[in-house]
Structure 1
Amino acid sequence: MWGKTAEIAAQYVRKGSLIGVTGSLKFEYWNDRSTGVQRSKPVISVDRLDLLGSKQDNEQSGGNSSMGGGYPDDF
């Protein structure tokens, strides 16, 4: 995340917050310097961030979120 989206995330998103993310997923690949083994990591470019509320907000409302349904606890 960059710019205004990153500022909003830093201010409002905490562990346990329910968020929606729209963007793209790609993988970066490189060779490990010490072993020569190919490594990779996922990179998510966020185009849109939706604040859906916290787990506590979701539990207090009986499992209903602004998207019309509940989420599993480990989501």
Structure 2
Amino acid sequence: MNTVTVVGRVGRDASEDFKAFDSGKTKARFSVAVNRWDSKTKSEVTDWFNIEIWDKQAEFAAEYVKKGRLVAIDGAIANNRWVDKTTNNERENFYIRANTIRLLGSKRDAEEAVL
């Protein structure tokens, strides 16, 4: 089973990477920072996750998912593979293909996080 849930702060507005396709489909991409405790360094570290979301959820994200906003993302791990044209090496990146997004915290929290 491939499911993942992350809760964190948005790193960039979803509207910055929103696309509408001729087919009528829409896609938004943004990043989420998730803090966790690292027992080796005995400090908090931040993991960054790239998020991709489609259609009505993408339209919602483009309007409401802003930098600093606390969100919960439910989805699945996905990956892209390609051959780098410059080096001819195979490349791969992983991201979360979101099924749902929930806005957490108050509007005031989101506004203060951006400041």
Structure of higher CA gyration radius? 1
What residue in structure 2 maps to residue 41 of structure 1? 93
SS in 2 for 1:53: coil
2:73 aligned with 1:51:
no
What residue in structure 2 maps to residue 26 of structure 1? 78
Structure with greater proportional strand content: 2
TM-score, scaled relative to structure 2? 0.44
SS in 2 for 1:14: coil
Provide structure 1 residue ranges, at least 5 long, that are not aligned to the other structure: 61-72
CA contact (8 A) 1:17 1:54 kept: no
TM-score, scaled relative to structure 1? 0.64
What displacement does 1:37 show?
Answer: 1.3
CA contact (8 A) 1:26 1:44 kept: yes
Provide structure 2 residue ranges, at least 5 long, that are not aligned to the other structure: 1-52
Query: What is the percentage of aligned positions where both structures have the same residue?
Result: 38
What residue in structure 2 maps to residue 70 of structure 1? none
CA contact (8 A) 2:69 2:109 kept: no
How far apart, in 1, do the equivalents of 2:54 and 2:100 lie? 11
CA contact (8 A) 2:71 2:103 kept: yes
Task: Report the CA distance shift for 1:15/1:34 in structure 2 as closer, same or farther (over 3 A).
Answer: same
What displacement does 1:31 show?
Answer: 1.5
Name the Cα RMSD after superposition.
2.5
